[in-house]
Amino acid sequence: MPQQDIPVRSPVAVVSGATKGLGRAIAERFAQNGFDLAVCARTLADLEAMQRHWAEHYPGREILAVPADLARQAEVQRFAEAIRSRWSRIDVLVNNAGVFRPGRVCDEAAGTLEFLIEANLYSAYHLTRALLPLMRPYRSGHIFNMCSIASLMAYPNGGSYSISKFALLGFSKALREELKPEGIRVTALLPGATWSDSWRGVELPAERLMQADDIAQLVWAAYQLSPSAVVEELVVRPQLGDL
């Protein structure tokens, strides 16, 4: 009998908040290396533009783009269900979705802490729990949580944002301990100031902040380590230090 070719499975990466900045750079890096992608963002027009870009630049790669506000648990579950309906296994989860809102604990608007915890912590918590069944049976996978320098030290006008990022680092540490024996790696990313839409209009020399692709390169390098090694925390700052 003629030997039948067994189709080769393309690896799959899930990147939340993927249409701009760090999320976009990370998604591009995985697409360049042969991954299919599941992405989400709050703005449908941004996702549609991303799909057009993918069709032109990565014609062999599949992309699932879902509009979702991951601060809302129901939308986290809708995004996860769309992924589970498309794939039975994923290889990478990048919990990048998040929001920055400046303020001081003493006088920031009521509800700020609740909003930032939902956007920056619960989004990652619920999405990870929903997608772990696509990693655990295979005893492999890599989860990246987009923490921040603000996860390590409070700074003026950081308020509840810093609280939420401290909590996200705690989540990452707990997840790392739980998944050690299951072959699933967990990495907390703690970047300092990096050029993104949140810095649009700020007049600073280009070299004063890091580039989004700097972080994407580090994510890819951490992913490429052998299964017996894991980068638990990755701290990276601009060469001239924090702003």
- For residue 8, give both structure tokens: 């080769």
Select from 70, 27, 75, 76 the least CA-distant residue to 51.
Answer: 27
Say which residues have a Cβ less than 8 Å from residue 211's Cβ, sequence separation at least 6.
25, 194, 195
pLDDT for residue 201 = 65
CA distance 240 to 243: 9
The pTM (predicted TM-score) of the whole model is 0.94
Q: What is the DSSP letter of 109?
A: P
User: Could you give all domains of the chain from N- to C-terminal order, each with its CATH number?
Assistant: 12-189+213-233 (3.40.50.720)
Question: Is the model's pLDDT at 95 over the cut of 90?
Answer: yes
SS3 89: coil
The mean of the pLDDT values for the chain is 93
Q: pLDDT by residue (tens digit) across 107-128? A: 999 999 999 999 999 999 999 9
Q: pLDDT by residue (tens digit) across 134-169? A: 999 999 999 999 999 999 998 888 999 999 999 999
